[in-house]
Structure 1
Protein backbone atom coordinates (compact mmCIF):
# COMPACT_ATOMS: atom_id res chain seq x y z
CA UNK A 1 0.00 0.00 0.00
CA UNK A 2 1.41 3.42 -0.94
CA UNK A 3 0.76 6.52 1.10
CA UNK A 4 1.56 9.97 -0.25
CA UNK A 5 3.14 12.66 1.90
CA UNK A 6 4.42 16.10 0.99
CA UNK A 7 7.96 16.53 -0.32
CA UNK A 8 8.65 19.18 2.30
CA UNK A 9 7.81 16.86 5.18
CA UNK A 10 9.51 13.88 3.59
CA UNK A 11 12.78 15.78 3.45
CA UNK A 12 13.00 16.06 7.22
CA UNK A 13 10.69 13.49 8.78
CA UNK A 14 11.70 9.93 9.50
CA UNK A 15 10.32 7.84 6.61
CA UNK A 16 8.31 5.55 8.89
CA UNK A 17 6.25 8.36 10.41
CA UNK A 18 3.62 10.32 8.48
CA UNK A 19 1.99 13.45 9.97
CA UNK A 20 -1.70 13.88 9.13
CA UNK A 21 -3.45 17.22 9.69
CA UNK A 22 -7.03 17.04 10.91
CA UNK A 23 -9.60 19.06 9.01
CA UNK A 24 -11.90 19.38 12.01
CA UNK A 25 -13.91 22.18 10.42
CA UNK A 26 -17.60 22.61 9.53
CA UNK A 27 -17.46 22.96 5.75
CA UNK A 28 -15.48 22.73 2.54
CA UNK A 29 -14.52 26.41 2.46
CA UNK A 30 -12.88 26.17 5.88
CA UNK A 31 -11.09 22.98 4.83
CA UNK A 32 -9.87 24.55 1.60
CA UNK A 33 -8.52 27.53 3.52
CA UNK A 34 -6.40 25.25 5.73
CA UNK A 35 -5.13 23.22 2.78
CA UNK A 36 -4.25 26.39 0.87
CA UNK A 37 -2.46 27.91 3.86
CA UNK A 38 -0.40 24.79 4.53
CA UNK A 39 0.43 24.33 0.87
CA UNK A 40 3.24 21.88 0.27
CA UNK A 41 4.03 21.49 3.97
CA UNK A 42 1.29 18.85 4.32
CA UNK A 43 0.33 16.05 1.99
CA UNK A 44 -2.03 14.02 4.18
CA UNK A 45 -5.31 15.17 5.74
CA UNK A 46 -7.94 13.71 8.03
CA UNK A 47 -11.64 14.12 7.22
CA UNK A 48 -13.73 13.45 10.32
CA UNK A 49 -17.43 13.16 11.08
CA UNK A 50 -18.20 16.88 11.08
CA UNK A 51 -16.73 17.64 7.67
CA UNK A 52 -17.86 14.37 6.10
CA UNK A 53 -21.42 14.93 7.33
CA UNK A 54 -21.42 18.44 5.87
CA UNK A 55 -19.80 17.76 2.52
CA UNK A 56 -20.08 14.03 1.90
CA UNK A 57 -17.52 11.91 0.05
CA UNK A 58 -16.95 14.72 -2.47
CA UNK A 59 -14.57 16.35 0.03
CA UNK A 60 -12.42 13.20 -0.20
CA UNK A 61 -12.44 13.41 -3.99
CA UNK A 62 -11.51 17.10 -3.85
CA UNK A 63 -8.51 16.41 -1.63
CA UNK A 64 -7.40 13.58 -3.89
CA UNK A 65 -7.70 15.85 -6.92
CA UNK A 66 -5.54 18.38 -5.06
CA UNK A 67 -2.82 15.74 -4.77
CA UNK A 68 -3.40 14.93 -1.09
CA UNK A 69 -3.81 11.61 0.68
CA UNK A 70 -6.91 11.27 2.85
CA UNK A 71 -7.67 9.55 6.14
CA UNK A 72 -11.43 9.26 6.62
CA UNK A 73 -12.14 9.02 10.34
CA UNK A 74 -15.74 7.80 10.58
CA UNK A 75 -15.26 5.19 13.33
CA UNK A 76 -17.78 2.86 11.74
CA UNK A 77 -19.59 0.45 14.07
CA UNK A 78 -22.51 -1.55 12.69
CA UNK A 79 -23.40 -4.99 11.42
CA UNK A 80 -20.68 -6.41 9.11
CA UNK A 81 -22.62 -6.09 5.87
CA UNK A 82 -23.42 -2.42 6.50
CA UNK A 83 -19.81 -1.63 7.40
CA UNK A 84 -18.60 -3.49 4.33
CA UNK A 85 -20.77 -1.34 2.08
CA UNK A 86 -19.69 1.90 3.78
CA UNK A 87 -16.02 0.97 3.54
CA UNK A 88 -16.47 0.13 -0.14
CA UNK A 89 -17.99 3.54 -0.81
CA UNK A 90 -15.33 5.46 1.09
CA UNK A 91 -12.48 3.58 -0.60
CA UNK A 92 -14.06 4.14 -3.99
CA UNK A 93 -13.62 7.89 -3.48
CA UNK A 94 -9.89 7.52 -2.89
CA UNK A 95 -9.39 7.34 0.87
CA UNK A 96 -6.06 5.87 1.97
CA UNK A 97 -7.18 5.10 5.53
CA UNK A 98 -10.57 4.52 7.17
CA UNK A 99 -11.46 3.88 10.82
CA UNK A 100 -13.89 1.43 12.38
CA UNK A 101 -14.42 0.75 16.08
CA UNK A 102 -12.35 -2.25 17.12
CA UNK A 103 -15.09 -3.11 19.62
CA UNK A 104 -17.29 -4.02 16.64
CA UNK A 105 -15.45 -7.33 16.57
CA UNK A 106 -13.19 -9.21 14.18
CA UNK A 107 -16.03 -10.18 11.79
CA UNK A 108 -17.01 -6.55 11.34
CA UNK A 109 -13.38 -5.54 10.85
CA UNK A 110 -12.90 -8.27 8.27
CA UNK A 111 -15.99 -7.03 6.42
CA UNK A 112 -14.57 -3.50 6.40
CA UNK A 113 -11.28 -4.79 5.00
CA UNK A 114 -13.07 -6.67 2.25
CA UNK A 115 -15.27 -3.69 1.41
CA UNK A 116 -12.26 -1.37 1.28
CA UNK A 117 -10.46 -3.75 -1.06
CA UNK A 118 -13.49 -3.85 -3.36
CA UNK A 119 -13.81 -0.06 -3.40
CA UNK A 120 -10.11 0.60 -3.87
CA UNK A 121 -10.08 -1.70 -6.89
CA UNK A 122 -12.12 0.93 -8.74
CA UNK A 123 -10.10 3.94 -7.49
CA UNK A 124 -6.82 5.26 -8.84
CA UNK A 125 -5.37 6.01 -5.40
CA UNK A 126 -4.19 2.54 -4.39
CA UNK A 127 -5.38 0.67 -1.34
CA UNK A 128 -7.41 1.79 1.64
CA UNK A 129 -6.20 0.52 5.01
CA UNK A 130 -8.68 -0.21 7.78
CA UNK A 131 -7.71 1.03 11.24
CA UNK A 132 -9.44 -0.11 14.41
CA UNK A 133 -10.12 2.56 17.02
CA UNK A 134 -9.34 1.14 20.45
CA UNK A 135 -9.99 3.68 23.23
CA UNK A 136 -10.55 7.35 22.45
CA UNK A 137 -7.80 9.64 23.68
CA UNK A 138 -10.46 11.95 25.10
CA UNK A 139 -11.23 9.29 27.72
CA UNK A 140 -9.30 8.46 30.88
CA UNK A 141 -9.70 5.36 33.07
CA UNK A 142 -12.53 6.97 35.08
CA UNK A 143 -14.50 7.81 31.93
CA UNK A 144 -13.93 4.38 30.47
CA UNK A 145 -15.03 2.70 33.69
CA UNK A 146 -18.23 4.74 33.68
CA UNK A 147 -18.98 3.87 30.04
CA UNK A 148 -18.18 0.18 30.39
CA UNK A 149 -19.63 -0.35 33.84
CA UNK A 150 -16.33 -1.31 35.45
CA UNK A 151 -14.84 -0.27 38.75
CA UNK A 152 -11.30 -1.00 37.60
CA UNK A 153 -9.97 -0.36 34.10
CA UNK A 154 -6.54 -1.28 32.78
CA UNK A 155 -6.42 0.92 29.69
CA UNK A 156 -3.29 -0.62 28.24
CA UNK A 157 -4.58 -4.18 28.63
CA UNK A 158 -7.87 -3.31 26.92
CA UNK A 159 -6.09 -1.52 24.08
CA UNK A 160 -3.93 -4.60 23.45
CA UNK A 161 -7.03 -6.82 23.64
CA UNK A 162 -8.86 -4.71 21.07
CA UNK A 163 -5.76 -4.62 18.88
CA UNK A 164 -5.96 -8.40 18.80
CA UNK A 165 -9.43 -8.17 17.25
CA UNK A 166 -8.06 -5.86 14.56
CA UNK A 167 -5.21 -8.26 13.82
CA UNK A 168 -7.63 -11.18 13.57
CA UNK A 169 -9.87 -9.19 11.24
CA UNK A 170 -6.99 -8.32 8.92
CA UNK A 171 -6.87 -4.59 9.70
CA UNK A 172 -3.87 -2.50 8.71
CA UNK A 173 -3.47 -1.00 12.16
CA UNK A 174 -5.06 0.60 15.17
CA UNK A 175 -5.71 3.99 16.67
CA UNK A 176 -4.42 4.33 20.22
CA UNK A 177 -2.74 6.90 22.41
CA UNK A 178 1.02 7.05 22.54
CA UNK A 179 0.90 5.78 26.10
CA UNK A 180 -0.28 2.35 24.97
CA UNK A 181 1.82 2.21 21.81
CA UNK A 182 4.81 0.41 23.30
CA UNK A 183 2.62 -2.38 24.69
CA UNK A 184 0.89 -2.85 21.33
CA UNK A 185 4.21 -2.83 19.50
CA UNK A 186 5.54 -5.44 21.93
CA UNK A 187 2.52 -7.68 21.36
CA UNK A 188 2.21 -7.32 17.58
CA UNK A 189 5.59 -6.04 16.38
CA UNK A 190 5.22 -4.39 12.94
CA UNK A 191 2.11 -6.32 11.93
CA UNK A 192 -0.16 -3.46 13.02
CA UNK A 193 0.54 0.14 12.10
CA UNK A 194 -0.11 2.62 14.90
CA UNK A 195 -1.98 5.85 14.31
CA UNK A 196 -1.63 8.13 17.30
CA UNK A 197 -3.93 11.13 17.85
CA UNK A 198 -3.71 13.62 20.70
CA UNK A 199 -0.39 14.97 19.43
CA UNK A 200 0.67 18.26 20.96
CA UNK A 201 3.77 20.37 20.50
CA UNK A 202 5.80 20.92 23.69
CA UNK A 203 4.10 23.52 25.88
CA UNK A 204 0.80 23.55 23.95
CA UNK A 205 -2.70 23.11 25.40
CA UNK A 206 -4.09 19.55 25.67
CA UNK A 207 -7.63 20.91 24.94
CA UNK A 208 -10.20 18.08 25.36
CA UNK A 209 -7.68 15.25 25.14
CA UNK A 210 -6.64 13.25 28.21
CA UNK A 211 -3.78 11.08 26.95
CA UNK A 212 -1.53 13.32 24.84
CA UNK A 213 2.05 13.08 23.59
CA UNK A 214 4.62 15.06 21.61
CA UNK A 215 5.49 14.06 18.03
CA UNK A 216 8.96 12.82 19.00
CA UNK A 217 7.67 10.74 21.90
CA UNK A 218 4.95 9.20 19.72
CA UNK A 219 7.49 8.34 17.02
CA UNK A 220 9.78 6.76 19.59
CA UNK A 221 6.82 4.71 20.85
CA UNK A 222 6.33 3.21 17.40
CA UNK A 223 3.81 5.47 15.62
CA UNK A 224 3.40 5.11 11.86
CA UNK A 225 0.94 7.99 11.54
CA UNK A 226 0.40 11.07 13.75
CA UNK A 227 -2.78 13.16 13.89
CA UNK A 228 -2.16 16.88 14.25
CA UNK A 229 -5.19 19.01 15.06
CA UNK A 230 -5.24 22.36 16.76
CA UNK A 231 -1.52 22.15 17.41
CA UNK A 232 -1.20 23.03 13.71
CA UNK A 233 -4.54 24.42 12.51
CA UNK A 234 -4.90 26.64 15.59
CA UNK A 235 -1.34 27.93 15.45
CA UNK A 236 -0.57 31.55 14.55
CA UNK A 237 1.61 30.18 11.75
CA UNK A 238 0.50 26.66 10.74
CA UNK A 239 3.41 26.19 8.33
CA UNK A 240 5.87 26.98 11.11
CA UNK A 241 4.03 24.52 13.36
CA UNK A 242 4.44 21.81 10.70
CA UNK A 243 8.13 22.64 10.54
CA UNK A 244 8.33 22.21 14.32
CA UNK A 245 6.67 18.80 13.98
CA UNK A 246 9.15 17.78 11.29
CA UNK A 247 12.08 19.00 13.39
CA UNK A 248 10.76 17.13 16.41
CA UNK A 249 10.43 13.90 14.43
CA UNK A 250 13.92 14.38 13.05
CA UNK A 251 15.26 14.76 16.61
CA UNK A 252 16.26 18.40 16.09
CA UNK A 253 14.29 19.66 19.11
Structure 2
Protein backbone atom coordinates (compact mmCIF):
# COMPACT_ATOMS: atom_id res chain seq x y z
CA UNK A 1 0.00 0.00 0.00
CA UNK A 2 1.36 3.41 -1.00
CA UNK A 3 2.20 5.69 1.91
CA UNK A 4 0.58 9.09 1.68
CA UNK A 5 0.54 12.08 4.03
CA UNK A 6 -2.66 13.38 5.59
CA UNK A 7 -3.16 17.02 4.61
CA UNK A 8 -4.42 19.26 7.42
CA UNK A 9 -7.08 21.52 5.88
CA UNK A 10 -6.52 24.39 8.28
CA UNK A 11 -8.93 26.82 6.64
CA UNK A 12 -11.95 28.60 8.14
CA UNK A 13 -14.42 28.08 5.28
CA UNK A 14 -15.25 25.81 2.35
CA UNK A 15 -14.84 28.86 0.09
CA UNK A 16 -11.13 28.87 1.00
CA UNK A 17 -10.76 25.09 1.10
CA UNK A 18 -12.17 24.36 -2.35
CA UNK A 19 -9.66 26.50 -4.33
CA UNK A 20 -6.80 24.86 -2.43
CA UNK A 21 -8.07 21.41 -3.48
CA UNK A 22 -8.55 22.26 -7.16
CA UNK A 23 -4.95 21.38 -8.22
CA UNK A 24 -5.51 17.95 -6.61
CA UNK A 25 -8.54 17.05 -8.72
CA UNK A 26 -6.81 13.92 -10.04
CA UNK A 27 -5.72 12.82 -6.56
CA UNK A 28 -7.69 10.90 -3.95
CA UNK A 29 -6.37 12.50 -0.78
CA UNK A 30 -6.45 11.73 2.92
CA UNK A 31 -7.37 15.04 4.57
CA UNK A 32 -7.77 16.26 8.14
CA UNK A 33 -10.76 18.38 9.11
CA UNK A 34 -10.12 20.10 12.42
CA UNK A 35 -12.19 22.20 14.76
CA UNK A 36 -11.68 25.44 12.83
CA UNK A 37 -13.17 24.07 9.62
CA UNK A 38 -15.79 21.73 11.06
CA UNK A 39 -17.26 24.02 13.71
CA UNK A 40 -17.65 26.93 11.31
CA UNK A 41 -19.15 24.88 8.47
CA UNK A 42 -20.76 21.82 10.02
CA UNK A 43 -21.33 18.38 8.46
CA UNK A 44 -21.55 19.87 4.96
CA UNK A 45 -17.75 20.13 4.90
CA UNK A 46 -17.51 16.35 5.24
CA UNK A 47 -20.16 15.82 2.58
CA UNK A 48 -18.29 18.07 0.13
CA UNK A 49 -15.01 16.24 0.70
CA UNK A 50 -16.61 12.82 0.35
CA UNK A 51 -18.10 13.87 -3.00
CA UNK A 52 -14.53 14.58 -4.12
CA UNK A 53 -13.56 11.03 -3.10
CA UNK A 54 -11.24 12.11 -0.28
CA UNK A 55 -10.77 10.14 2.93
CA UNK A 56 -11.32 12.14 6.10
CA UNK A 57 -9.71 12.34 9.53
CA UNK A 58 -12.18 14.30 11.67
CA UNK A 59 -9.92 15.88 14.28
CA UNK A 60 -12.32 17.11 16.98
CA UNK A 61 -10.43 15.79 20.06
CA UNK A 62 -13.58 15.07 22.08
CA UNK A 63 -13.14 15.30 25.86
CA UNK A 64 -16.21 15.08 28.11
CA UNK A 65 -18.03 12.66 30.37
CA UNK A 66 -18.31 9.13 28.91
CA UNK A 67 -22.03 9.28 28.09
CA UNK A 68 -21.72 12.60 26.26
CA UNK A 69 -18.77 11.36 24.20
CA UNK A 70 -20.54 8.11 23.43
CA UNK A 71 -23.63 9.87 22.11
CA UNK A 72 -21.56 12.40 20.16
CA UNK A 73 -19.57 9.60 18.51
CA UNK A 74 -22.76 7.73 17.68
CA UNK A 75 -23.93 10.79 15.72
CA UNK A 76 -20.56 11.57 14.13
CA UNK A 77 -20.22 7.96 12.91
CA UNK A 78 -23.09 8.63 10.54
CA UNK A 79 -20.96 11.15 8.63
CA UNK A 80 -18.91 8.34 7.15
CA UNK A 81 -15.48 9.67 8.14
CA UNK A 82 -12.49 7.33 8.12
CA UNK A 83 -10.78 8.39 11.33
CA UNK A 84 -11.71 10.39 14.43
CA UNK A 85 -10.21 11.16 17.82
CA UNK A 86 -10.64 11.96 21.50
CA UNK A 87 -8.32 13.23 24.25
CA UNK A 88 -6.68 10.42 26.21
CA UNK A 89 -6.83 12.68 29.28
CA UNK A 90 -10.58 11.93 29.37
CA UNK A 91 -9.71 8.51 30.76
CA UNK A 92 -10.12 4.85 29.85
CA UNK A 93 -13.87 4.75 30.49
CA UNK A 94 -14.47 7.75 28.23
CA UNK A 95 -12.33 6.28 25.44
CA UNK A 96 -14.14 2.94 25.67
CA UNK A 97 -17.45 4.81 25.49
CA UNK A 98 -16.23 6.62 22.37
CA UNK A 99 -15.56 3.29 20.67
CA UNK A 100 -18.96 1.97 21.74
CA UNK A 101 -20.65 5.06 20.30
CA UNK A 102 -18.84 4.65 16.99
CA UNK A 103 -19.90 1.01 16.80
CA UNK A 104 -23.51 1.93 17.55
CA UNK A 105 -23.56 4.60 14.86
CA UNK A 106 -21.77 2.71 12.09
CA UNK A 107 -23.53 0.26 9.79
CA UNK A 108 -20.33 -1.06 8.20
CA UNK A 109 -16.73 -0.73 9.30
CA UNK A 110 -16.38 1.81 12.10
CA UNK A 111 -13.95 4.73 11.78
CA UNK A 112 -10.43 4.35 13.15
CA UNK A 113 -10.43 5.71 16.72
CA UNK A 114 -7.38 7.57 18.02
CA UNK A 115 -6.62 9.34 21.28
CA UNK A 116 -4.41 12.42 21.63
CA UNK A 117 -1.60 11.89 24.14
CA UNK A 118 0.16 15.24 24.54
CA UNK A 119 -0.19 17.94 21.89
CA UNK A 120 2.90 18.48 19.74
CA UNK A 121 2.71 22.15 20.75
CA UNK A 122 3.27 21.17 24.42
CA UNK A 123 6.76 21.18 25.89
CA UNK A 124 7.82 19.11 28.90
CA UNK A 125 8.10 22.27 31.01
CA UNK A 126 4.56 23.33 30.09
CA UNK A 127 3.17 19.90 30.90
CA UNK A 128 4.85 19.84 34.28
CA UNK A 129 4.02 23.40 35.34
CA UNK A 130 0.58 23.84 33.78
CA UNK A 131 -0.84 20.30 33.91
CA UNK A 132 1.03 19.47 37.14
CA UNK A 133 2.21 16.15 35.71
CA UNK A 134 5.53 15.49 37.51
CA UNK A 135 6.92 12.78 35.18
CA UNK A 136 8.78 13.30 31.90
CA UNK A 137 6.85 14.09 28.74
CA UNK A 138 7.78 10.70 27.32
CA UNK A 139 6.46 8.89 30.41
CA UNK A 140 3.18 10.79 30.19
CA UNK A 141 2.77 9.94 26.49
CA UNK A 142 3.56 6.25 27.06
CA UNK A 143 1.11 6.10 29.97
CA UNK A 144 -1.65 7.60 27.81
CA UNK A 145 -0.78 5.23 24.94
CA UNK A 146 -1.14 2.15 27.17
CA UNK A 147 -4.42 3.52 28.55
CA UNK A 148 -5.65 4.12 25.00
CA UNK A 149 -4.87 0.56 23.94
CA UNK A 150 -6.56 -0.85 27.06
CA UNK A 151 -9.69 1.15 26.15
CA UNK A 152 -9.88 -0.56 22.75
CA UNK A 153 -8.77 2.35 20.59
CA UNK A 154 -6.74 1.78 17.43
CA UNK A 155 -3.88 4.15 18.14
CA UNK A 156 -2.74 7.54 19.31
CA UNK A 157 -1.90 10.98 18.04
CA UNK A 158 1.62 11.67 19.23
CA UNK A 159 4.90 13.31 18.31
CA UNK A 160 7.28 11.52 15.94
CA UNK A 161 9.77 11.45 18.80
CA UNK A 162 7.59 9.09 20.89
CA UNK A 163 6.55 6.75 18.06
CA UNK A 164 9.29 4.14 18.50
CA UNK A 165 8.77 3.82 22.26
CA UNK A 166 5.01 3.52 21.76
CA UNK A 167 5.62 0.66 19.33
CA UNK A 168 7.72 -1.05 22.02
CA UNK A 169 4.99 -0.89 24.68
CA UNK A 170 1.85 -1.16 22.51
CA UNK A 171 3.03 -3.15 19.48
CA UNK A 172 3.83 -2.15 15.92
CA UNK A 173 0.20 -2.57 14.74
CA UNK A 174 -0.96 0.12 17.21
CA UNK A 175 -1.22 3.30 15.12
CA UNK A 176 1.04 6.29 15.71
CA UNK A 177 -0.43 9.27 13.84
CA UNK A 178 2.06 12.12 14.00
CA UNK A 179 1.37 15.81 13.39
CA UNK A 180 4.06 18.48 13.73
CA UNK A 181 5.57 17.50 10.37
CA UNK A 182 7.63 20.18 8.68
CA UNK A 183 10.05 20.19 5.79
CA UNK A 184 13.59 20.93 6.99
CA UNK A 185 13.52 24.40 5.43
CA UNK A 186 10.16 25.35 7.03
CA UNK A 187 9.44 27.31 10.19
CA UNK A 188 8.18 25.24 13.15
CA UNK A 189 5.58 27.96 13.94
CA UNK A 190 3.65 27.07 17.13
CA UNK A 191 4.82 23.44 17.20
CA UNK A 192 7.48 22.35 19.69
CA UNK A 193 8.18 18.68 18.82
CA UNK A 194 8.55 18.64 15.04
CA UNK A 195 10.16 16.38 12.45
CA UNK A 196 10.48 16.09 8.69
CA UNK A 197 8.73 13.26 6.75
CA UNK A 198 11.93 11.24 6.36
CA UNK A 199 12.62 11.24 10.11
CA UNK A 200 8.99 10.33 10.78
CA UNK A 201 9.36 7.27 8.54
CA UNK A 202 12.64 6.29 10.20
CA UNK A 203 11.25 6.62 13.73
CA UNK A 204 8.15 4.51 13.03
CA UNK A 205 5.20 6.84 12.47
CA UNK A 206 2.20 5.00 11.01
CA UNK A 207 0.72 8.12 9.40
CA UNK A 208 1.88 11.74 9.21
CA UNK A 209 -0.23 14.90 9.25
CA UNK A 210 1.15 17.82 7.26
CA UNK A 211 -0.41 21.27 7.27
CA UNK A 212 1.38 24.51 6.50
CA UNK A 213 4.28 22.89 4.62
CA UNK A 214 1.68 22.06 1.96
CA UNK A 215 -1.21 24.48 2.49
CA UNK A 216 1.03 27.58 2.62
CA UNK A 217 3.35 26.50 -0.18
CA UNK A 218 3.46 28.54 -3.39
CA UNK A 219 2.77 25.32 -5.31
CA UNK A 220 0.80 23.04 -2.95
CA UNK A 221 0.65 20.09 -5.37
CA UNK A 222 4.42 20.14 -5.84
CA UNK A 223 4.93 20.41 -2.06
CA UNK A 224 2.53 17.50 -1.50
CA UNK A 225 4.36 15.32 -3.99
CA UNK A 226 7.70 16.13 -2.36
CA UNK A 227 6.35 15.25 1.10
CA UNK A 228 4.81 12.06 -0.28
CA UNK A 229 8.12 11.08 -1.86
CA UNK A 230 10.08 11.59 1.36
CA UNK A 231 7.43 9.85 3.46
CA UNK A 232 7.31 6.89 1.08
CA UNK A 233 11.07 6.53 1.04
CA UNK A 234 11.39 7.00 -2.70
Do these two structures clear the TM 0.5 threshold for a shared fold by scoring above it? yes
Tell me, yes or no, if structure 1 residue 27 matches structure 2 residue 10.
no
Q: 1:246 aligns with which of 214, 225, 228?
A: 228
CA contact (8 A) 2:2 2:232 kept: no
Greater displacement, 210-219 / 28-37: 28-37
8 Å CA contact 1:17, 1:224 repeated in 2: no
1:218 to 183, 200, 221: 200
**Cα distance 1:76–1:196, how it changes in 2: closer, same or farther (>3 A)?**
same
Other-structure match for 2:145: 163
Aligned equivalent of 1:109: 95
Normalising by the residue count of structure 1, what TM-score does the alignment of the two structures yield? 0.88
Quote the offset at 1:191 in angstroms: 3.8
Note the residue ranges of structure 1 that are not aligned, 5 or more in a row: 1-14
Per-residue Cα deviation, 1:177-205 (whole angstroms, up to 9, x for no partner): 00111110111112411100000112111
Asked whether the 8 Å contact 1:130–1:171 carries over to 2, the reply is yes
- Residue of structure 1 equivalent to 2:155: 173
User: How far did residue 142 of structure 1 move?
Assistant: 1.2
Q: CA deviation at 1:16?
A: 6.8
Match of 1:147 in 2: 130
User: How do 1:75-94 and structure 2 match up within 5 A?
Assistant: 75-94=61-80
CA distance in 1, matches of 2:2, 2:135: 32
Structure 1 position 246, deviation (Å): 1.7
Q: Measure, in 1, the Cα distance between the counterparts of 2:2 and 2:114.
A: 17
Unpaired runs of 5+ residues, structure 2, are none
CA 98–193 in structure 1, closer or farther in 2 if over 3 Å, else same? same
Q: Structure 1 pair 72/108, CA: closer, same or farther in 2 (3 Å)?
A: same
Shift of 1:39: 2.7
What is the SS of the residue equivalent to 1:46? strand
Q: 2:178 aligns with which of 196, 203, 221?
A: 196
Asked if the contact 2:55–2:81 (Cα under 8 Å) also holds between the matched residues in 1, the reply is yes
TM-score by length of 2: 0.95
Deviation at 1:41, TM superposition (A): 4.0
Kindly provide the CA deviation profile for residues 83-103 of structure 1, in whole angstroms up to 9, marking residues without a partner as x. Answer: 011112222111111110011
The CA distance in 2 between the partners of 1:35 and 1:120, in whole Å, is 28
- State yes or no: 1:63 paired with 2:49: yes
Matched length: 234
Deviation for aligned residue 1:43 = 1.0
| SS of match in other structure, 1:40 | coil
Give the CA RMSD over aligned residues: 1.5
Shift of 1:143: 1.2
**What's the secondary structure of 1:198's corresponding residue?**
coil
